[in-house]
Amino acid sequence: MNKKTLYHGHLATLLAGSLFPLGFSPFNIWPALIVATAAGFALTRCETVKTATVRGLLFGFGLFGTGTSWVYVSIHNFGAASVPLAGLLTALFVMLLASLLVMPLFYLYAKLKNRFSIQTPWQQALLFAGLWTLFEWVRSWLLTGFPWLLQGYSLLDTPIQSWAPVVGVFGLSLLMATTAALMTAAIVTERAKRNPPLIALSITLLFWIASVPLGKIQWTQPTGEISFSAVQGNIPQLLKWDPDYVQETLNTYYTLSEKEWSQELIIWPENAIPLFYSQARSVLNRLDRKAAENNSALILGLPIDERSKSTHSLVDEKYYNGIVAKGLGEGRYYKQKLVPFGEYVPLESTLRGLISFFNLPMSAFSAGNSSQEKLRIPNAVITTYICYEVVYPDFAARQAKDSGLLITISNDTWFGKSIGPEQHFQMARMRSLETGRYMIRATNDGISALIDDKGQVIESIERFKPGVLRGTAEVMKGNTPFMLLGSWPVIFLSLLMIVVAGFSARRSASRRLTENSVRA
């Protein structure tokens, strides 16, 4: 291969990765993912380990460079970084994601392909699709996890989404990646040898067809309903933690909630009260009385400070991003999945204070433990997620067990009018679909919405304006297959595809060796 052809391949791979985010909200062009994945596979299918690794880096840089460009908004607008510095930090963030989460996939594909002499396109397709899904899964836990831009999200609002309660978003990703790779294999295979990839592709297409009858199954059942109001304060992020603006923030929520106390449940968003719990006792007592007098429950977010004595009689103070229930509601919840740099600073001793971005307000939280009691109101047990937690498929499914309603509170103001909040909302919808439960989403400036057990938006209110979302949510019972089994069946199937590709290649090599010996 000459250098010109090599560089053209590199450029095409970068472009393919850049097209990938078109499959997600707000664009929702899901076939773009098939094309981008097929192109990524085709451009590395027969390449050397070195070339495949470089193209993996380029594909990942294009994918995250366009798909997570919203990071720039928070770094520049709220981290007080100049345009050049914000651009540099965003580029470094994107390069880190590409290096850790995508490049190793392409490297390992080329390495295993050579190690096991996997030569036929359909075997290569199985290897690539299996690895793709495994690496998406690894994204969900490696270095606390970044399960963003998973292929399966693009299948929301299509008939294929009916597989989500069975196999979760990773199962949908496996279906997408396998389809893209096998389509490529069918195209590049010689006509005389096209049967194997066509047979494999036909089996894959049966899963697409099976989604139609699967969609008629009701995995969970309603047991009742509750009336609710989700309050959207639209507090400017630059003023949110300003001590002089605290009373204005509280007045906004008091005013918006004044006519809502007849509802069974009122929800305020993440950190709606910009005071620590110890500082907000009088405010919380007032709200507790107001809710109780009206036979209502109030759920709201605020930072919670806790003090305890250590073994050396010293005071140990911790801070949590939390939720408390007042009135007829019971319990509190501490966020378990924290946002790097937003809620805690990795390598804090080195980075803290280096630039304003590494010293954002509320960036010294501790994580809550995994054995917390769920929140309760008179007619429902509630699973709560704070912001980023809703993007973790298996975590969200485990949390949803033994509850009848999902609530997520968030503050996506950090990302302005970028595509980040749209992507976040799409992931929240997938959690409702996977668990067969209604979800109420209350945010500072949108998207506040009621989502049903099929992941469909029933009601929402206008973004970037103060308002109240009123509605009625069904309380559900029962577990979906995904809640019971998680992603393990998909992980097993992905590994099986890799084993089949390698075993089949070994058999083919052995058969060729036998035939050559006979001829000799």
Q: What is the pLDDT of residues 263-286, one digit of tens each?
A: 999 999 999 999 999 999 999 999
Q: Which of 260, 387, 389, 434 is catalytic?
A: 387
Cα-to-chain-centroid distance, residue 371: 22
Each residue's pLDDT tens digit, 360-408: 555 689 999 999 999 999 999 999 999 999 999 999 999 999 999 999 9
Residue ranges of domains in the chain, CATH in brackets:
1-115 (no CATH), 119-219+487-520 (no CATH), 221-479 (3.60.110.10)
Cα–Cα distances in angstroms (integers) from residue 478 to residues 153, 227, 398, 457, in the given order = 23, 21, 13, 21
The contacts found for 344-350 with CB under 8 angstroms, 24 or more apart, are none
Is 387 an active-site residue?
yes
Catalytic annotation on 270?
yes
Active-site annotation holder among 240, 326, 335, 337:
335
Work out the pLDDT band at 352, boundaries 50, 70, 90: very low
How large is the average pLDDT for residues 459-481? 98
> How distant, in Å, are the alpha carbons of 11, 38, 61, 146, 419 from that of 17?
10, 11, 7, 17, 17
Write down the number of H helices and E strands in the chain.
17, 12
Q: Which amino acid is at 361?
A: P
Please give the C-alpha separations between residue 135 and each of 106, 139, 151, 177, 430, in angstroms, as whole numbers: 10, 6, 12, 12, 19
> Would you state the pLDDT for residue 362?
55
Q: Tell me the C-alpha distance between 376 and 70, whole Å.
A: 35
Per-residue pLDDT at 419: 96
Query: Considering the chain, what is the average pLDDT of its residues?
Result: 93
Selected catalytic residue, list 136, 264, 270, 474: 270
77 — pLDDT class (breaks 50, 70, 90): confident
Q: What is the pTM of this model?
A: 0.94
pLDDT classification of 515: cutoffs 50, 70, 90: low
Confidence of residue 156 (pLDDT cuts 50, 70, 90): very high
pLDDT > 90: what percent of the chain?
85
Half-sphere exposure in the Cβ direction for 28 (13 Å, CA): 10
Which residues lie below 8 Å from residue 107, measured CB to CB, with a gap of 6+?
Answer: 49, 52, 53, 56
Confidence class for position 3, pLDDT limits 50, 70, 90: confident
Condensed to tens digits (0 to 9), the pLDDT of residues 398-439 reads 999 999 999 999 999 989 999 999 999 999 999 999 999 999
46 is catalytic: no
